[in-house]
C-alpha cells in the first residue's frame, strides 16, 4: 500500500497519504476520473486472451455500481438454471448456484497514477476470497474495461442509460 501515491475516495475526495509522498495531494483531475466511475454499468462480458471466458453460458448478466460516497457493489450471474428439489439448496445445488456467480460489495479507492481501482470488499458471497481486488481501468466511449493486473483478462462494462 505504501507505493500508492494518490488514493482517492470518490466524491468525498478523501486523499489518503499513506507515506510521506507529497505528490498525493488532492487535485481536480482525480475528481474527474472518479466521476467517470459514478453510476451503474451493465456487464458486457469477460475475455481472456481475446476469447470469451468460459463457464458463464451464452448470456451472463451483471451490473457494477460505484456510488459517489465511495460505496460499490458488483454482481454477475451466469446464464444457467440451477434447479432446486426442496425448499433449501442441497450442498450440490448450492455449489452449482455459487459457481461463477460474482456478488460482492464494499468501498472503492482509485489510484489515478497507477490507473487502478481497488474494491475493498465488505461482503462477498464467495467464501475465502481475499478482501481487496485491484483492477486496471480504461474508459472507452460508453464502456469501462477492468483488467486484473498482470493478466490478459478483460472485464467489460457498459454504462446504463
What does the binding site for another protein look like in residue numbers (CB under 8 A)?
39-40, 42, 61-63, 65, 67, 69, 71, 73, 75-77, 82-84, 87, 89-99, 101, 103-105, 122-128, 160-161
Q: Compare residues 6 and 105 and give the one whose CB is closer to another protein.
A: 105
- In the complex with another protein, the residue whose CB is nearer, 80 or 113, is 80
3-class state of residue 139 by DSSP:
strand
Nearest distance from C-beta of residue 11 to another protein, angstroms: 10
In terms of CB distance, is 19 or 95 closer to another protein?
95
Dist CA 149 CA 36 (whole Å)? 20
CB of 52 to another protein, least distance (A): 18
**Helix, strand, coil: what percent of the chain each, to 5?**
10, 45, 45
CB of 47 to another protein, least distance (A): 20
User: Which segments of the chain are extended strands (E)?
Assistant: 7-9, 14-16, 39-48, 51-52, 61-66, 71-77, 102-111, 116-124, 132-140, 143-148, 153-159
**Among all chains, which residue has been given the C-alpha cell 481501468?**
137
**Which is nearer to another protein, 3 or 69 (by Cβ)?**
69
Phi, psi of 31, rounded to the nearest 5 degrees: -60, -40
Total residues belonging to the chain? 161
Name which of 121 and 135 has its Cβ closer to another protein: 121
Q: Compute the least distance from the CB of residue 59 to another protein, in Å.
A: 10
CB of 20 to another protein, least distance (A): 31
Amino acid at each position: 500500500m505504501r507505493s500508492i501515491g494518490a488514493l482517492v475516495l470518490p466524491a468525498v475526495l478523501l486523499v489518503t497519504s499513506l507515506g510521506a509522498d507529497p505528490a498525493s495531494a488532492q487535485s481536480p483531475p482525480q475528481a474527474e476520473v472518479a466521476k467517470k466511475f459514478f453510476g451503474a454499468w451493465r456487464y458486457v462480458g469477460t475475455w481472456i486472451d481475446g476469447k470469451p471466458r468460459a463457464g458463464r453460458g451464452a448470456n451472463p448478466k451483471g451490473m457494477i455500481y460505484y456510488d459517489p460516497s465511495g460505496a460499490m457493489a458488483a454482481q454477475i450471474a451466469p446464464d444457467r438454471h440451477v434447479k432446486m428439489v426442496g425448499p433449501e439448496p442441497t450442498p450440490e445445488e448450492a455449489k452449482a448456484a455459487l459457481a461463477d456467480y460474482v456478488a460482492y460489495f464494499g468501498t472503492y479507492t482509485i489510484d489515478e497514477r497507477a490507473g487502478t481501482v481497488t474494491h475493498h470488499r465488505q461482503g462477498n458471497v464467495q467464501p475465502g476470497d481475499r478482501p481487496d481486488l485491484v483492477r486496471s481501468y480504461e474508459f472507452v466511449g460508453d464502456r469501462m474495461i477492468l483488467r486484473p493486473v498482470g493478466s490478459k483478462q478483460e472485464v467489460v462494462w457498459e454504462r446504463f442509460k
